[in-house]
Amino acid sequence: MHNHDHHHTAAVHSHTHEHDHSVIHENKTRIVVILTSVTMVIEITFGYWTNSMALLADGYHMSSHVLALGLSWLAYFLARKYSDTEKFSFRREKLLALSGFTSAIILQVIAVVMAVESFQRLIDPLPIKFTEAIFVAAIGLVVNALSAAFLHHDHAHTDHNIRSAYLHVLADGLTSVTAIIALTAGMYYNLYSLDAISGLISSIVITRWAIQLIKGSGKTLIEFSHKHN
């Protein structure tokens, strides 16, 4: 009898332990979503103001990840809120797949607009406020570094959601670095084309990313699986 009780307590303990972790993940993801959202708005606003495609691209690339991170956070939130309710019944992964699919299509539109605009800037460059743009891109990089460090803790308990969030933040950092390099080189050598090329490269990156998301979420939506004969 005593043994049975012991097992029961262990089971309850491990369940609470997992629950605690998912709450920790949920809170971490939420903080990163807020941080990146604010930075994204700043980068996009300054991107237009400084005429820098690299900065704009960095901001839009970040927006793609804010969507993804927002979805991760929503996944935690819904899992916790509705896992024990009697009132509603829906497939959580379907809801997430649907929002993922939608945001991927929005991203694709953004990528196309960015590619067109970058191409126009290549042909007909606009004066860029280099110093301000570099400063804002550097802020973006710092935020990404902080977010990555924040999400990288406690590796043993990292789940799929946190891992994808971490990868998004890393990819963002990379775009910030590209933007800073393009802008700095552009400022020293007075080359406006580097900024436009940076915007073009980013739109290709975002396209690749959107296509992956459309494939992944689409498969979940139609419950796609391989048949084994």
pLDDT by residue for the chain (229 residues), tens digit each?
555 555 555 554 545 555 566 677 778 878 888 888 999 999 999 999 998 988 888 888 888 778 877 877 887 787 777 766 666 666 667 777 777 788 788 888 888 988 998 999 888 888 888 999 999 999 989 998 888 888 776 554 556 667 777 777 887 888 888 889 889 998 888 888 888 888 888 888 888 878 888 888 888 888 777 776 6
Q: What pLDDT digit, counting tens, does each position of 138-177 carry?
A: 998 999 888 888 877 655 455 666 777 777 788 788 888 8
Q: Which long-range contacts (CB under 8 A, 24 or more apart) does 131-135 make?
A: 131/187, 132/46, 132/49, 132/50, 133/46, 133/47, 133/50, 133/52, 133/54, 133/55, 133/179, 133/183, 134/180, 134/183, 134/184, 134/187
Q: Which pTM was predicted?
A: 0.71
% of residues, the chain, pLDDT over 70: 80
% of residues, the chain, pLDDT over 90: 12
DSSP letter assigned to residue 224:
-
Domain architecture of the chain: domains with CATH? 25-82+89-221 (1.20.1510)
Residue 39, C-beta contacts closer than 8 angstroms, at least 6 positions apart: 62, 139, 140, 143
